[in-house]
Amino acid sequence: MAGSSDYRPFNLAARVVGKRRRLILPAKLKSAIPAIALVLSAVTIIGVIIQHHRSITYFLRPLWDTPPKPFTVIPHYYAPNTSMTELCALHGWRARASPRRIFDAVLFNNELDILEIRYRELLPYVHKLVILEANATFTGIPKPLSFAENLERFAFARSKIVYDRLPIATPGSSPGRRREEPFDVEAGHRRALNALLRRSGVAGGDVVIMADADEIPSPETVQLLRWCEGVPPVMHLQLENYVYSFEFPVDRGSWRATAHVFSERTAYQHSRQSDLMLADAGWHCSFCFREIGEFAFKMKAYSHADRVRRQSFLDPERIQRVVCAGDDLFDMLPEEYTFRDLFKKMGPIPRSASAMHLPSYLIKNAHRFRFLLPGGCMRSG
């Protein structure tokens, strides 16, 4: 009966030994305990894998992925007051009698500050600044035409700018239209930029720099491309890699920017196209925004938007905290091919107090771009 001290739930027998009570389990239940424990352990492990599958996958990447073929790195020579004849010869090339034309071609999202620094650095050395922007992101989010709305800011380069807008169907604008994958939309942007590049007047023998807006070749690099005969037909540009600002240098692993000696077969791409890479050719400053809202927008907008696994990732206070700490916005492990490199890069990015060898316009206008320099991690908004 329910209140009796003789009641034993599930037919378990109990025996009092001194002041302790010991349960005596039936043999069948006793023999099943290891199996039950095994099942519970398996369920727990599966739950952990499901919850943290991305982190586990990245941590085990050295086991399941192989690194790409290494580049053949071309040494980069430069010293002030050295003639182009001497510099071209140091690279194994020869100087031209007149400079070739340089076309700078970029896709633009909303990086107004970085784009201004880019154009101020490159303006004296390029023939045309070719730029394309769309009314929506790669993930289909409608966005303003930021460049078109800020044309006066770029009036200094108006004579060299070749600009166009790319209309993108956004959710609800075309009923019944299947939503495209972000990488397919990105590929469409690059095809459109390829067409705009041809409309800009590019011709055989010109050099085209293909890069994202935040991948900035140095003036020294562009001068080599202008004045040296014998540069490779396609050459990647090794850029110093920064995140959030020039206070957080990551590595020299940025390689997607390229320089092409134009021919009819040249097509705009942002992927591996050659085994050759020019060393120390400029800067890549990723997520280098002035305002917190710009960080959140890009996190939702670019091709890897699936990395925003929780809404809390977009919290302004969290973003500010992550930026000042040099942590990862997506709470991810580094994408590395060896455990040595993985462990080396785990944790916050070490701060740098150096503002040497950065874009000259940035340093000359440090009061305007304080957020990009050491000690300027606090953002507005």
Q: Where are the domains of the chain?
A: 72-170+179-372
- Given this model, what pLDDT does residue 341 score? 85
- Phi, psi (5° rounding) for residue 216? -105, 115
- Given this model, what pLDDT does residue 47 score? 52
pLDDT tens, N- to C-terminus, the chain (381 residues)? 444 444 444 444 444 444 455 556 566 556 666 766 676 666 555 554 444 556 677 667 777 788 889 999 999 999 999 999 999 999 999 999 999 999 999 999 999 999 999 999 999 999 999 999 999 887 778 899 999 999 999 999 999 999 999 987 665 555 555 566 777 777 888 889 999 999 999 999 999 999 999 999 999 999 999 999 999 999 999 999 999 999 999 999 999 999 999 999 999 988 999 999 999 999 999 999 999 999 999 898 765 667 888 899 999 999 999 999 999 999 988 888 788 888 888 899 999 999 999 999 999 999 999 999 999 999 998
Backbone φ/ψ region at 92: left (φ over 0), alpha (ψ -120 to 50), beta: left
Q: How far apart are CA 159 and CA 77, in angstroms?
A: 32
Q: Measured between alpha carbons, how far is residue 65 from residues 173, 336, 337, 338, 348 in Å?
A: 40, 9, 7, 9, 24
C-beta of residue 230 within 8 angstroms of C-beta of residue 84: no
Of 327, 325, 317, 311, the C-alpha closest to 293 is 317
**CA quadruple 230, 115, 191, 66: dihedral sign:** positive
C-beta of residue 185 within 8 angstroms of C-beta of residue 245: no
> How do beta strands 258-261 and 234-243 pair?
antiparallel
- Phi, psi (5° rounding) for residue 106? -135, 150
- Given this model, what pLDDT does residue 289 score? 97
In this structure, whether the domain defined by 72-170+179-372 belongs to CATH 3.40.50 is answered with no
- Phi, psi (5° rounding) for residue 162? -115, 110
pTM exceeding 0.75: yes
Rounded-to-5 percentages of helix, strand, coil across the chain: 35, 20, 45
Q: How far apart are CA 288 and CA 295, in angstroms?
A: 8
Instruction: Check residue 60 and report its DSSP letter.
Output: T
Structure tokens at 161: 């700018």
